[in-house]
Structure 1
């Protein structure tokens, strides 16, 4: 797989798929009212593609197209967007979720940018049969637990390890000559981490449209203010669902509990805030809703293996 030196202008949402039949690596230049930037595409192995879409000042509704007979895994690393399926189901992506889509035929989605500005999406597109081959070797039952049903979508939590793995693919710290090998290794690492997730212990739940809307609203409400999240009683009242049902269905649908969802979102935001040297560690802790900085330090070190102070020092030294 060569570096993506071939360049083309993007004219439609299906350009990348047409070019993938002819090239193993290429870039598409976006210059549209909805966003300007670059899309990079790499064939990492037979039946496995990596796409990154990096736009500045994205806004409005972007075209999105998902190929048929493949699993598409999509995550936002910067920005917030909402992918709307033709059937009307909508999935908000903002850095803490991975959308898994399995379509029988190529399908056009509507991609609504919820916050104008930087837009960075990473997608892995793979033939499900690829997961039945080494190094994964999944069985049919394994695939049923991992993949949504045909013509359906499923959201999974994107924990910090998975998030960092995707970040490494977007900003690979290697010589360009080693890029193909690096991306192949990172994609395998990502899939192995994902397949080892405790979330994948049962088939994807079938959720009624009304409950799906309520559970999406519950997540948005929970993460709207990380410093002052709503109590369970408030959240239950706001979305019109009993507390016990909310806790159970939230875990089934989102793949994690309410508290784990909030915890992971706080840690991802902590990484971003620690990049601003003007903010003290105590101020970062306060902005994330930690009553004491020591509690923040303990939670951060448990997740990243470094204290916030040491993490900040390492980031300063990074190339």
Structure 2
């Protein structure tokens, strides 16, 4: 059987029930925003629940146990940003690009499927007769910025968003609060309207704990900056902004700012929460948004003004950042 095609929507449950489980299970509606698929096959059992919350969060809960090694594959389209935490033995994930990740319990990661890719999941003998539990929180970048009240997202998130790889991921150790949230969400027994409210609250709490943990991890790994370093880094930032349409290469920027390249890259991320080119990309798009709202220039003219040679690449980057194509800005 070929791989199932998924797109990150709640309809994925129906596709998995039909193609992976051969129609051996039904998808149940638990509330207006939540659906569940359960299965009990000869060698594996468990359930997956998917909820589309009012906050813009997609929350998926999976609990699985297997009696012998098995595998499954999905053709997955581009996705929103995902925060995933697991407990217990996890599968190996291999992408069609050759990337390999172990989704083992004891860590959580932030990732994003940036373009269509095949995902192969291998559940090996080490997890036999043990429970695998996973919470997946999916959200748009723009909505995450709105909820956090800032355009500066955690550095780990920005690394994933700016990566050219099909399946970039940034792993962090799990803190006790995340295990507690797994229990509270996986074993939620609320019913009726209160269930929807409960999941909304827990989804936001889960997001808050994950973001805090990402920022703590970055602070622990960040270099110590002197007043001299910060002055030179601010100079680098001003140079980038002044030459937005034709930025210098990193070695040239480091020389102009009076820093070595390693200090420039590490210090810029620490001080401004992003890589040099990630910061430049966002400021270019912010300026493009401002120019488009003035309605004085065409989309192609705005793209050229902020340094994009290819208007289609500009349109794709703009839509990824703001959730709408540049032609829809009013």
Whole-Å separation in 1 of the counterparts to 2:34 and 2:109: 24
Give yes or no for contact 1:71–1:100 (8 Å, CA) kept in 2.
yes
Map of 2:232 onto structure 1: none
Whole-Å separation in 1 of the counterparts to 2:65 and 2:175: 25
Change (3 A) 1:64 1:46: farther
Map 1:97-116; keep pairs closer than 5 Å: 97-114=107-124, 115-116=127-128
Larger radius of gyration: 2
Change (3 A) 1:85 1:75: farther
Whole-Å separation in 1 of the counterparts to 2:156 and 2:150: 10
Structure 1 unaligned spans of 5+: 205-319
Whole-Å separation in 1 of the counterparts to 2:221 and 2:58: 25
Whole-Å separation in 1 of the counterparts to 2:40 and 2:179: 28
Give yes or no for contact 2:95–2:119 (8 Å, CA) kept in 1.
yes
Map of 2:17 onto structure 1: 10
State yes or no: 1:28 paired with 2:42: no
State yes or no: 1:137 paired with 2:145: no
Q: Deviations over 1:58-86 (max 9, x none)?
A: 63113356552411222222333222222
State yes or no: 1:92 paired with 2:121: no
Change (3 A) 1:88 1:122: same
Question: What is the deviation of 1:31?
Answer: 5.3
Question: What is the deviation of 1:191?
Answer: 1.2
Question: What is the deviation of 1:146?
Answer: 2.2
Map of 1:123 onto structure 2: 136
Give yes or no for contact 2:93–2:119 (8 Å, CA) kept in 1.
yes
Give yes or no for contact 2:55–2:200 (8 Å, CA) kept in 1.
no
Whole-Å separation in 1 of the counterparts to 2:221 and 2:145: 17
Change (3 A) 1:119 1:153: same
Change (3 A) 1:28 1:78: same
Map of 2:195 onto structure 1: 179
Map of 1:79 onto structure 2: 89
Map of 1:38 onto structure 2: 47
User: How many residues in Structure 1 have an aligned counterpart in Structure 2?
Assistant: 193
Question: What is the deviation of 1:40?
Answer: 0.9
What TM-score do the two structures reach when normalised by structure 1? 0.51
Whole-Å separation in 2 of the counterparts to 1:201 and 1:88: 31
1:62 to 62, 67, 72: 72
- SS of 1:138's partner is coil
Give yes or no for contact 2:145–2:153 (8 Å, CA) kept in 1.
no
Change (3 A) 1:24 1:173: closer
Change (3 A) 1:25 1:111: same
| CA RMSD across the alignment | 3.6
State yes or no: 1:199 paired with 2:209: no
Give yes or no for contact 1:61–1:110 (8 Å, CA) kept in 2.
yes
- SS of 2:149's partner is coil
Structure 2 unaligned spans of 5+: 1-9, 223-330
What TM-score do the two structures reach when normalised by structure 2? 0.50
Whole-Å separation in 2 of the counterparts to 1:173 and 1:24: 16
Change (3 A) 1:187 1:123: same
